[in-house]
Amino acid sequence: MKTFVISALTVLGVTLASVGSSLAADAAAGKAAFNKCKACHDIGEGAKNKVGPDLNGLDGRKAGTEAGYSYSDAMKNSGITWNQAEFEAYIRDPKAKVPGVKMAFAGIKKQSELDNLWAYVSEFDKDGKVKAK
C-alpha cells in the first residue's frame, strides 16, 4: 500500500509539473499574437503612438497617461494601473472592461493567447528596451 501511495504521488507530481510548464507564458508566441495589435499600437525601441498609444512600459503604468496620446475620458478615468490581470481583462473585452473607451477591438478570448501576449508586452521598459531577466 505504501509503495502504491508513493507511486501515485510521484505520477501526480510529474503530471502537475508538466502541466505547469505547459501553462507557462511564451513571449515568442506573444509576439505573434501582437500581430493583432500592431495596426494600432507600437512597441519596442523607436515606438510611437499610432491610432492607439505605444505600449512600452505598460506594466505598472496608469491607464490614460502615455504622453502625446489623446485618450478617451473613460480610459483616463478608469483607475486602472496596468498589470497582467487588468490587461487580460481589458483585452478579453475592452468595451466591457472600460465602457466608453475608443478602442475598437473584438477582444482575445483564449487564455493562453492572453498570457503569451502579456509575456511579450510586459518585456518592454518605458524606453522600448527588453528588460533584463
pLDDT tens digit sequence for 18-39: 334 346 899 999 999 999 999 9
Instruction: Flag whether pLDDT at 16 surpasses 70.
Output: no
Residue 117 in domain: yes
Residue 35 in domain: yes
118 in Cβ contact with 84 (< 8 Å): yes
Q: Say how many domains are in the chain.
A: 1
pLDDT in tens, 65-82: 999 999 999 999 999 999
| Nearest to 110, CA basis, from 53, 30, 39 | 30
**CATH classification at residue 63:** 1.10.760.10
What is this structure's pTM?
0.81
Residue 9 in domain: no
What range defines the domain where residue 64 resides? 25-121
State the pLDDT confidence band at 108, using cuts at 50, 70 and 90.
very high
Q: How far apart, in whole angstroms, are the C-alpha atoms of residue 90 and residue 95? A: 8
Residue 7 in domain: no
| Cα 34-105-46 angle, rounded to 5 deg | 40
Residues in a beta bridge with 97: none
Residue 48 in domain: yes
In the prediction, which pLDDT does 24 show?
84
Q: How far apart, in whole angstroms, are the C-alpha atoms of residue 24 and residue 106? A: 25
Instruction: Flag whether pLDDT at 14 surpasses 60.
Output: no
Residue 132 in domain: no
Residue 40 in domain: yes
Mean pLDDT of 36-59: 98
Task: Determine how many CB atoms are found less than 10 A away from the CB of residue 121.
Answer: 25
In the prediction, which pLDDT does 133 show?
77
